[in-house]
Chain A
Amino acid sequence: MNVFRLAGDVSHLVAIIILLLKIWRSKSCAGISGKSQVLFALVFTTRYLDLFTVFISVYNTVMKVVFLALSYATVYLIYMRFRNSYNSENDTFRVEFLLVPVIGLSFLENYAFTPLEILWTFSIFLEAVAIMPQLFMITKTGEAESITTHYLFFLGLYRALYIANWVWRYHTESFYDLIAIVSGVVQTIFFCDFFYLYFTRVLRGRGKMTLP
């Protein structure tokens, strides 16, 4: 564990809690892509199957369970409890365009051709692109509430910090994981455009982020 890794985990947790609290307090999931949240729940489910096979640490187990629980709670709020506020008409990203290549790639490029390894690889590849329905929705409507942009900021920050963590681990432990690194870099690149808009628009005091 290093400071980048811990900060990355914390910002990931902060992002998820921001989103959950926003939906819970406003009793609305307007502007939130339910599809992205389902994909993230799928990411956690397929990656954390190792909860049943290996024990790493109490921290590791607790965080995995928390991420799983919070992601399912978010999906529940969007599709069940506050489904009347869900903007399904704007959440029109074709998820199969992500799932089919990701499934195919995880069968082709993995560390071992076993169900758990393929599912782990699938979760890494899927996480890299899971935010696309949300970014697509913002592009389509041309705006996002500031709290939604704070969520995206922390989610992007988490990924950027993980890259710093990998650089650190490479230098201190001579260890690196190519599948995780390539996917992590791809995922971070998706956020670059958003980061630019976040700093130039949201943090300059406007309530909403509007696209030009």
Chain B
Amino acid sequence: EYNVFKHDEL
């Protein structure tokens, strides 16, 4: 599953 969390946060 694609984890958008890690790409969203800096």
**Interface positions of A (Cβ within 8 A of B):** 5, 9, 12, 50, 54, 56, 60, 63-64, 67, 111, 120, 162, 165, 175, 177, 180
Q: Are A60 and B8 in contact (CB under 8 A)?
A: yes
Q: Are A177 and B3 in contact (CB under 8 A)?
A: yes
A1 to B, closest residue via Cβ: B8
Q: Are A56 and B6 in contact (CB under 8 A)?
A: no
Residues in B neighbouring A54, C-beta threshold 8 A: 4, 7
A112 to B, closest residue via Cβ: B3
B3 to A, closest residue via Cβ: A111
Q: Number of B residues contacting the other chain (C-beta, 8 Å)?
A: 8
Residues in B neighbouring A162, C-beta threshold 8 A: 9
A180 to B3, CA, bound (A): 13
Residues in A neighbouring B8, C-beta threshold 8 A: 56, 60
Q: Are B6 and A120 in contact (CB under 8 A)?
A: yes
A166 to B, closest residue via Cβ: B9
Residues in A neighbouring B4, C-beta threshold 8 A: 54, 56
Residues in A neighbouring B5, C-beta threshold 8 A: 175, 177, 180
Residues in B neighbouring A177, C-beta threshold 8 A: 3, 5-6
Give 8 nearest A-B pairs by CB, closest first.
Answer: A50-B7, A54-B7, A177-B5, A56-B8, A56-B7, A63-B10, A9-B10, A120-B6
Q: Are A64 and B10 in contact (CB under 8 A)?
A: yes
27 contacts between A and B (CB under 8 A): A5-B9, A9-B10, A12-B10, A50-B6, A50-B7, A54-B4, A54-B7, A56-B4, A56-B7, A56-B8, A60-B7, A60-B8, A60-B10, A63-B10, A64-B10, A67-B10, A111-B3, A120-B6, A162-B9, A165-B9, A175-B5, A177-B3, A177-B5, A177-B6, A180-B5, A180-B6, A180-B9
A162 to B8, CA, bound (A): 13
A162 to B5, CA, bound (A): 13
The smallest C-beta distance from B6 to any residue of chain A, in angstroms, reads 6
Residues in A neighbouring B6, C-beta threshold 8 A: 50, 120, 177, 180
A9 to B9, CA, bound (A): 9
A12 to B5, CA, bound (A): 18
